[in-house]
Each structure stands twice: as C-alpha cells, then as structure tokens.
Amino acid sequence: MTPTITAFERSPDGGRGLARDMRVRWALEEVGQPYDVRLLSFGAMKEQAHRARNPFGQIPTWEEGDLVLFESGAIVLHIAKRHAGLLPAEAKARARAVAWSFAAISTVEPPIVERETAIYLERDRPWHAERLPMLEGRIHVRLSELSARLGAAHWLDGAFSAGDLLMVAVLIRLKDGGMLEAHPGLAAYVARGEARPAYRRAFEAQRAVFADRSNNLKSR
Amino acid sequence: MTPTITAFERSPDGGRGLARDMRVRWALEEVGQPYDVRLLSFGAMKEQAHRARNPFGQIPTWEEGDLVLFESGAIVLHIAKRHAGLLPAEAKARARAVAWSFAAISTVEPPIVERETAIYLERDRPWHAERLPMLEGRIHVRLSELSARLGAAHWLDGAFSAGDLLMVAVLIRLKDGGMLEAHPGLAAYVARGEARPAYRRAFEAQRAVFADRSNNLKSR
C-alpha cells in the first residue's frame, strides 16, 4: 500500500528543502519506496481533519491504511525499521542510530529553530540585535561538539543511517545563515548528504510543488 | 548485565525530579530492571571521558557492556524495546507510541525549555518582562492542542506507554510555574503519571542523591 504524506501547499522556504516533509521524502527515496503527497494550506493544517492526523497541526504526517503517524523523526524511524538501508542490522549499532536521530531532533535542532523563530517573530523588537548573537552562540556550541565527534569520519557512526539523514536535514537549516561555514567538517558532512542520489530526488520532488505553484500563479 | 546511567552529582532542581535521568530511572522501574548510577559534577560532564559517552556533555547516558547510548528519548525506547511494559506488542500501536515519544521531546518540550532558558539566562535583561508572556503563550498553544487530543482519556493512545512516560516527564517541568493549572485535563494526566508506583520509586531514588549530598554537606 502506497503511503500518503502531508506537505505545505505553499512552502514557506520556497522549495529550498527546509520543510520537514523533506526528511520523510528523503528516507523514502533512500529505501526506494513510492509515496503520495497531500498538500495542505496553512489554514487546512489547523482544521480538525488534519488535527486528527497530527494534534499539533503540523506537517508531515503519514497515512498507510489505518495507520496514522506524525513527527518526522518517528516517521523516518518507522520507514527505517521496515525497509533496509537506514538502520544497521546489528542491535547495538541500531540503538546508536536511534540515539543520533534523537540527538538531531532534540539537541541540535531546538537552538536552530529558536534562532529562526526569533528572526521571524522578534526581528522588529528592540532586543533582537542583542539577542541574536546569544542564540547563535548556543548553536555554535552544539556545532563544535558535533564536529569534534564527527572528526574525519564520513558519517556519525559507521554507514549512513537515519541518524545522519535527520542530522543533515537539521543542519541544512543553517546553510544560508553562514553559520555552518565556521565548521568546515560539518559543512562537508552536509554536502555529502546533499550529494546522495536519494536526497537529490527528494529535493527535486519537494521543489516541484513550489515550481508548479509559481507557474500556476504566473498563469493566472 | 546491570546498566549504568549518569546523573547530576548536584541536581540543579534540588531533587525535584526534573533532570532527564528521571525519565530513564522511571522507565527502568516500570519494567523492573535494576541499574547503577554514576554521578557527575558539572565539570566532569564536559570532560573527554563523558563526552565519549555523550558528545554534547549532557546526562543521562547508558552503558551496558560495550553499548553506550545518549539521549533520554533513545534510552527510554531502548529499554522499552527489550522489556515488556512500555510499548504495545501490536506494530501499529507501537509506531504510534514512538510518535508520541518524539512529540513529547521535539514538539512539547522545546518551548518549555526555551522559557526555562530565558528565566535562567535572561531574567536580568531589559526585555525579559516583555518576552516571558510571549514564550508562555507558545507553551499554552501546545498544551491546548495536547489537552484537546487527550480529552477524557487516561493516556495518549490506549495503555500507558513510553510516549506517556516522556510526555508526563516533560509536562512536570511546568508544575511550579502555574501553567499546567490552566489545563486541568493535563494536570490530571500528570498526576496520574506521578501516582504510578514506578514513578514514585524513581523519584525517591533521584531525590536520595540530593538528600545524601545535603547530609554530607551538613556533616562537614
């Protein structure tokens, strides 16, 4: 049965691959599974039909028969458990890949999102100029720690895993802010992720949504 | 083999059960597994020996033979996968419990931690009084959404699971701020979690570390 995921009808990032459906698309491409996409407006995301999928009214979600899931991390691990290619077979290595998945989403991503939120919601506040470097300092601490652990390795723990997929997807959020460049090892790590054929396919698929819409708007 | 977890030598919360080792202790008590505890000073957490366990220098970690894990969410799921009591046996319900685990840690907890960070690090800044209600407003949005989904149910999705354990552990951080009281359904949910015998045992175990230390300090 082909699963259906949800994604933004109008991507806030203009198809730059930063929305969280990208993680699920990438995982599905890594394991070679087809999927359908249900596009949602910002209004529809907050309506009851979507809150039945995700009580917090966010994308992505996962529908496959009567199974409904939310949280991109959980969906990526669900895909990884059922198809080879994203989790090691050996139990201990598998547990470590899950740990890296949580590290991406609960330790590395929050300060990055906090900075984005400040830029979106507080950029006109009088304190923004003073707070922004504080927020960026917290991100750099995490990046330095991650970079020290990665060292010269290609991936975080042996072969590419769901943990790398989620970590790269989180770090990509920093690409345009110039913060990643201060950590060349991580910049190279992100570039390795982006160079994977599965990433490219997923990126083009999410970008096509936005390109189609641009064309639609132009043709009106 | 008895696992060893790490915890704060001096709990910043004075043994009120807010540190993240509490989640792992609680999970181990739910499944009836013994464990050892390695206490770390704030300095030791940032040293190389601990960064080998967790590159971000945080507690808790998990050591069991040659398996080393970090991230409380990953450790709780690791325990849940190997012992009955924290994940449903049926595959779809199991995937949903993992989704709730991620929701607790990646959707509900970040705004709560952001408020705590502001109170710790920015309380003397001129903008704090104006920002705090903004941060609390974001938390209330999440709590309202969670409360609407929980409704009159005892737990988030059928029987008590790792998802409930992590969600209750996250919500407990709000207990002293008066924010939970605005959501009576969630306050009752947290109370149900705290009333579980496994929670009580875990709570007393983490509190004993602090009580011992208080006694040690007094006896000097």
Residue B220, pLDDT > 70, answer no
Residue owning tokens 């366990």: B53
pLDDT, averaged across chain A: 94
CATH number for the segment(s) B4-85+198-219: 3.40.30.10
pLDDT digits (tens, 9 = 90+) for B75-96: 999 999 999 999 999 999 999 9
pLDDT digits (tens, 9 = 90+) for A190-219: 999 999 999 999 999 999 998 876 655 444
Question: If interface means Cβ-Cβ distance under 8 Å, which residues of chain B face chain A?
Answer: 51, 55-58, 66-71, 73-75, 77-78, 92, 95-96, 98-99, 101-103, 105-107, 109-110, 113-114, 121-122, 125-127, 130-131, 134, 142, 145-146, 148-149
Give the HSE-up count for residue B1: Cα atoms under 13 Å, Cβ half-sphere: 9
> pLDDT value at position B105?
97
> pLDDT value at position B10?
87
Residue with more model confidence, A175 or B57:
B57
Contacts of A166 in chain B (CB under 8 A): none
CATH architecture of the domain with range A4-85+198-212? 3-Layer(aba) Sandwich (3.40)
Q: What's the Rg (C-alpha) of chain A? A: 18
Residue B210, pLDDT > 90, answer no
- Which three-class secondary structure state does DSSP give residue A69? strand
Residue B106 pLDDT level (bands cut at 50, 70, 90): very high
> CA nearest B109 in A: which residue?
A106
- The ranges assigned to domains in chain A are 4-85+198-212, 91-196
CATH architecture of the domain with range A91-196? Up-down Bundle (1.20)
- Which three-class secondary structure state does DSSP give residue B70? strand
Contacts of A99 in chain B (CB under 8 A): 69-71, 74-75
Residue A167, pLDDT > 80, answer yes
pLDDT, averaged across chain B: 94
Tell me the nearest-neighbour CA distance from A118 into chain B, angstroms. 11
CA A80, A84, A87, A91 torsion-angle sign: positive
The residues facing B61 across adjacent strands are B70
* Cα–Cα distance for residue pair A132/A123, rounded to 1 Å: 9
Q: Which CATH number fits domain B91-197: 2.30.38.10, 1.20.1050.10, 1.20.1250.20, 3.40.309.10?
A: 1.20.1050.10
As given in the structure block, the two tokens for residue A37 are: 């996409």
B105 with A101: Cβ contact below 8 A:
no
CB atoms within 10 A of CB A90: 10
When pLDDT is averaged across residues B84-113 and rounded to a whole number, the result is 97
A71 with B107: Cβ contact below 8 A:
yes
Residue B12 pLDDT level (bands cut at 50, 70, 90): confident
- Which three-class secondary structure state does DSSP give residue A201? helix
Residue B216, pLDDT > 70, answer no
> pLDDT value at position A13?
86
Residue B218 pLDDT level (bands cut at 50, 70, 90): very low
E strands along chain B, which residues? 4-8, 36-40, 61-64, 67-70
* Cα–Cα distance for residue pair A62/A77, rounded to 1 Å: 12
pLDDT digits (tens, 9 = 90+) for A54-102: 999 999 999 999 999 999 999 999 999 999 999 999 999 999 999 999 9
Claim: this prediction has a pTM higher than 0.80: yes
Tell me the nearest-neighbour CA distance from A61 into chain B, angstroms. 10
Tell me the helix, strand and coil percentages in chain A, rounded to 5. Answer: 60, 10, 30
> pLDDT value at position B195?
98
> pLDDT value at position B213?
65
In eight-state DSSP terms, residue B3 is -
Predicted-complex ipTM score: 0.95
* Cα–Cα distance for residue pair A159/B65, rounded to 1 Å: 22
Residue B219 pLDDT level (bands cut at 50, 70, 90): very low
B67 with A113: Cβ contact below 8 A:
no
Question: If interface means Cβ-Cβ distance under 8 Å, which residues of chain A face chain B?
Answer: 51, 55-58, 66-71, 73-75, 77-78, 92, 95-96, 98-99, 101-103, 105-107, 109-110, 113-114, 121-122, 125-127, 130-131, 134, 142, 145-146, 148-149
- Which three-class secondary structure state does DSSP give residue B28? helix
Contact predicate A171/A179, CB 8 Å = no
Largest CA distance in chain B: 56
Q: How far is CA A31 from the centre of its chain?
A: 17
Q: How far is CA B8 from the centre of its chain?
A: 13
A55 with B96: Cβ contact below 8 A:
no
| Closest-CA residue to A65 (of B145, B92, B114, B182) | B92
* Cα–Cα distance for residue pair B16/A12, rounded to 1 Å: 41
B149 with A105: Cβ contact below 8 A:
no
- Which three-class secondary structure state does DSSP give residue A70? strand
Contacts of B92 in chain A (CB under 8 A): 66-67
